[in-house]
Structures are given as structure tokens and as C-alpha cells.
Structure 1
């Protein structure tokens, strides 16, 4: 009976996204967490997030409106100075994820490939939400993730966007305005490239 119930629940999580209340998270420091803290982080630092991507077009008034990023300040996974979201310079794709979220794990490699294919043109940023450091670092190591990651233990960004589950993907233009928030589930390369084209006007190299 338990196995049948688990088999029914997994597709629902994959289709609807994940919420922190239904997932298992680490509580308190453990030997594994301490070991993770002593290893080099797989992620990039966040020092460059306040400058536009090297080859990005200059920010010009778009006339399309759009809300500004929330007034939140988050720590960088690798340490250093906290990052104010409103200081981020796009175009950028911000992915909210956690190690305990199955669709997050499914789509993260597509975000790494997007980061590689669009280097200098588009910035890819992760926001790790309500997660244990060791678990998040292990996912980064296992999946070969290299883009910068911010830490949001209190789910502040998710609340500011008025969304309940993850993964969430936020498309931010060169003016720092939110053009679209996607919560449809795990994104693959083709869908991610289409959303970037549709909402940011950029064509990602194949």
C-alpha cells in the first residue's frame, strides 16, 4: 500500500511543483553539512551580479512596464557581500530551486547549459530555497552546476512573487523588470530557449 501511494504522489509533485511543507529537509548541522562547508563550492561567486552581462545590449526604455524585482537582500552561496535583488543587472534568468524538489533536479542541467550557451549575453542565477547546505552543494557537484546561487532560507522571494511551489523561473530584462514568472514545472532546453526569446527577446545559440 505504501509503495502504491508513493507511486501516485511522485507524478503529482512533478506536475504541480514542490512546496516546502511536503518535503524532507535537513535540520541543524550534521557531520555531512560540516564536511560540505569545508569543500570548495561548485557555484560561481556573486560579485559580478551588479553589472550587465558582457555582451548584453544597453538598457533602453521598453515601454512594456513590468514590476521591479522585490526589495530583498540574499546571501551568496559562496559567501561574500549579500546581494540586493534590485541591484541585479539583466537580462537574467533566475531559477528558484531546492535539492528536495524532483522537478528542480530534472531541469537544473538545462539551466547550466543555458548559462554556457548564452555566456556574455544572458545571466543565469539560482536561488536555493529552504534547503540544507550539504544537500544543495551535493546537487551542484553531481549536476556540474557553475552559475551563481543565492540562498533564500525564508522563502522570501517566493512570497514576494505570490507563488507557493517551486521550481520558479523569473525572466528579468535589462532594466531589472520582471517580464515573466514561470511555474509550469520542469523546463527542458527547448522550452527554456523559447521563454527567453519570448520574454527577453534573445535568441540562445543552439
Structure 2
């Protein structure tokens, strides 16, 4: 009798494990703490200098398509949870996102990282601005960079107007860069 109960218990546990791993609708999507990426107009990006024509899904929903014009001035910050300077400056980008409203979009690109690690760090740091996911670092490779952070300032048409190499020192410096390169006073 004891063996029969043990066998039934094992069968129930195994079937429960199998039921959890078989999902006919694909992998279970966890809810993101990051906001959805903003809608972009259908117009192609235009300008003398452009970002590589790559598109990335955003854990919070939507897509960041760098081949399309953003429609509003945009700050694109490449970051990873493994990058110490990124961890220090990311809350400043959240502050910028909060104060900019719809005048300037702030979008991150999670680079060479995992979604769970990035989500955990973002949650701990109080970061909710939209971020696209580039786990393999495809954008970094296309840009020819191997260190983070890097921040790109795009005008409403998608032209690359400034590149910030390395971390920003303060929220004031970040607002100054937005004013100088995007023409938006915050």
C-alpha cells in the first residue's frame, strides 16, 4: 500500500511539472516594471547621421525601431544591469523622463543583459521609463562600441545630433545636454 501511494504521489507530481512546462500559447510572459515603448510614426528616420536600422522588442510592450523617426526629440541610453556606471546614472534618466513628459522621449536599450537581471535592477532603482531589449548587443556591435554607457540624442526626424560617451555626472548635466542638442528646456 505504501508503494502504491508513493507511486501515485510521484505520478501526480510529475504530471504537475509537465503541465507547467507545456504551454500551447508559448512561453509565459511576465509583467514588466518598464513602460511600453512609445508609438512611432511610420516615417523613415532622416538626417545626415542616423542610428543603425535595427528594431528591438520592449519588455513593457511595443517596439523600438531605430529606422523610423521618433516624432519627438529622443534620448536613447544604452545600459546593462552589469554596468556599474549605468547603475549610477540610470535614476537620472528616470528623473529626465519624469520631467520631460511628451517634450522628449527617454528610451533605454538593455544591452548584453538578460531580461530578468535588467528588470530586477530597474525595479530596485525605481526605473520605469521604456527600454528595448538587445540581449546580444547587436546595437553595440553596429555602433562599434564595447563599453557602456553610451547615450544618443535624436531629433524628431531621427537624426543623430549628439553622442554622450560614458556616464553623465548629474541630472543638471543631462538637462543641459537636452537643451543644447535637442533645443528643449526642462
Please state which band the TM-score falls in when normalised by the shorter chain: 0.7 to 0.9
**Alignment size in residue pairs:** 154
- CA shift, 1:192, in A, is 0.5
Q: Which has the higher contact order (CA 8 A, sep 6+)?
A: 1
| Structure 2: stretches of 5+ with no match in the other structure | 1-27
CA-based RMSD: 1.9
Q: Describe how 1:42-191 pairs up with structure 2 within 5 A.
A: 42-46=33-37, 48-51=38-41, 66-80=48-62, 82-89=63-70, 90-191=72-173
CA distance in 1, matches of 2:65, 2:148: 21
CA distance in 1, matches of 2:151, 2:164: 5
CA distance in 2, matches of 1:109, 1:141: 11
Structure 1 residue ranges (4+ consecutive) displaced by more than 6 angstroms after TM superposition: none
| Residues 66 and 179, structure 1, Cα contact 8 Å, conserved in 2 | no
| Structure 1: stretches of 5+ with no match in the other structure | 1-36, 52-60
CA distance in 1, matches of 2:181, 2:100: 15
TM-score by length of 1: 0.69
Which structure has the greater CA radius of gyration? 2
TM-score by length of 2: 0.76
